[in-house]
Amino acid sequence: MTNRAFRVVVPALALFLTAFLISQATAAKSTAAKVTSLPGVNAFLTDMIPDDPERAGTFFAELKKGGANTVILGPPETGYTAGRSTLPDIVSRAHTAGLKVYLIVPVRNMPDVLAVKPRWEDMKYDLNSGTIQPTGRLDLFKDDVVDYLSSRIKDLASTGVDGILFGTDLYYDDVEAMTSDTLQTYANRFNAALIPGRAFARVENLQGGLVVVEYGAGFREWAEMKRDRLIVVIQKIMDDVRAEHAGMLFGLPLHEEGLASAEAALNRFAYDMEAFRQLNVDLYWIAIKHRRMRARKGMGYKESMEALARIAQAGNEAVKAPSRALIILQTASSSGKVLPYSEIEKTASLARKGGNPYLAFTAAEERSLPAVLTKKLFKGNDSPR
């Protein structure tokens, strides 16, 4: 009787333990990949912090009065470059004012690093000459470069910032990543050499420069290899930083041109939102400067607003999760003059169409917006997600 009971209980216990372990492994895997929804993000972007500490504190207090709970440092184009030494004091004063601090960090466009580490430079295929030329950007296929970036961002995180937004210089152009080492990596992986003259099958002179309009043999694999490398690099940096700063938020930039077509985005920029959504980043961000677009492309008011709406909608659709999309909108012209309030409100309304992203707005000490207006603009950020 005892032996029979033992024979029944042991298999049952084994099944129970197996089921328990599987469930725990599944839960652990799910937890590792899951990113919790962000609390409401009411942010101002600024690249001009007053030098005087007291003025900086007053500036942050004014942003707080305007309904903000976050300040984003660094222009979207280049990221925060003011130096690390002043950052702890800036962060401390922002925290005292009740603001979190997100930092836009350059990834590849770092001339100061290349000045001392020229071997870290990426190369590109020059469509005009048919030769390999330097890009002026870091080569993310080099492990030393990635280790440096991890170390640098960990150091920035140690200043007390609450979030790191990868800069818009992260992605590769179609002609980039042409160092001899990277070309050899491609050859080893696919058992064939990448021949630029074949990969860039047809080139045309468009918008004042040569552009690849048709890709040929080997290029698709080339684009996918660059995308895969970006995924590895992004995840490694996040893992390294979070190992020391567990609560660090990370944001990945949406690519304005890449949002138009998934196929073209992968080819031209190694940009693949389907793949990037698998990364455990907290948010995806984009700055839409409609006034700059208007000046650069000769648009009228209506046309620039329509372009803003298209980009915002494409961004919302690409992210597929409103609690993880952050759109930064322009509130001043290139000369620094504050835009008409009606225009600012219009951009906010258009950016929210077809989605429910968090909206942020540009700000500077000398062109503050009325608190009544900014609180109204932020009100939509409180909508259920």
Q: Beta strands 121-125 and 100-105: pairing type?
A: unpaired
Is 70 exceeded by the pLDDT of residue 89?
Answer: yes
Residue 308 and residue 288 in contact, taking contact as beta carbons nearer than 8 Å: yes
Is 70 exceeded by the pLDDT of residue 28?
Answer: no
Q: How confident is the model at residue 176 (pLDDT cuts 50, 70, 90)?
A: very high
Q: How confident is the model at residue 23 (pLDDT cuts 50, 70, 90)?
A: very low
Q: Which of 351, 305, 310 lies closest to 328, judged by CA? A: 351
Q: How far apart are CA 259 and CA 315, in angstroms?
A: 7
Kindly state the DSSP code that residue 73 receives in the 8-state scheme.
Answer: E
**What mean pLDDT do residues 324-329 have?**
94
The mean pLDDT value of the chain amounts to 87
**What mean pLDDT do residues 229-237 have?**
97
For the chain, give the percent of residues with pLDDT over 90: 67
What pLDDT score was predicted for residue 25? 35
Q: How confident is the model at residue 151 (pLDDT cuts 50, 70, 90)?
A: very high
Is 70 exceeded by the pLDDT of residue 12?
Answer: no
Q: How confident is the model at residue 7 (pLDDT cuts 50, 70, 90)?
A: very low
User: How many CA atoms does the CB half-sphere of 46 hold within 13 Å?
Assistant: 21
Q: How confident is the model at residue 208 (pLDDT cuts 50, 70, 90)?
A: confident
What pLDDT score was predicted for residue 385? 55
Helices (H), the chain: 2-33, 53-65, 87-96, 111-116, 143-157, 180-190, 196-199, 219-244, 262-269, 273-276, 290-297, 301-319, 341-352, 371-379
What pLDDT score was predicted for residue 52? 85
Q: How confident is the model at residue 21 (pLDDT cuts 50, 70, 90)?
A: very low
Q: Which residue has the tokens 């258009």?
A: 350
Is 50 exceeded by the pLDDT of residue 268?
Answer: yes
Coil, helix or strand at residue 132: strand
Which string of b and e fits 294-305 if b means at least 16 CB within 10 Å? beeeebeeeebb
What pLDDT score was predicted for residue 162? 97
What pLDDT score was predicted for residue 20? 38
What pLDDT score was predicted for residue 38? 63
Is 70 exceeded by the pLDDT of residue 326?
Answer: yes
Amino acid at 167: G
Region of 98 (left: φ > 0; alpha: ψ -120 to 50; beta: rest) is: left
Q: Point out which residues pair with 125 in neighbouring strands.
A: 132
Is 90 exceeded by the pLDDT of residue 383?
Answer: no
Is 50 exceeded by the pLDDT of residue 100?
Answer: yes
Higher pLDDT pick, 39 / 184: 184
Among the ranges given (16-30, 184-198, 207-221), the one the predictor scored with the smallest mean pLDDT: 16-30
Q: How confident is the model at residue 78 (pLDDT cuts 50, 70, 90)?
A: confident
Which string of b and e fits 135-161 if b means at least 16 CB within 10 Å? bebbbbbbeebbebbbebbbebbebeb
What structural domains does the chain harbor? Answer: 42-117+139-171+229-378 (3.20.20.80)
Q: How confident is the model at residue 256 (pLDDT cuts 50, 70, 90)?
A: confident
Two structure tokens written together for 346: 């219009």
Q: Phi and psi of 157, rounded to 5°?
A: -65, -30
pTM: 0.87
Residues 331, 335, 340, 343, Cα dihedral to 10°: -50
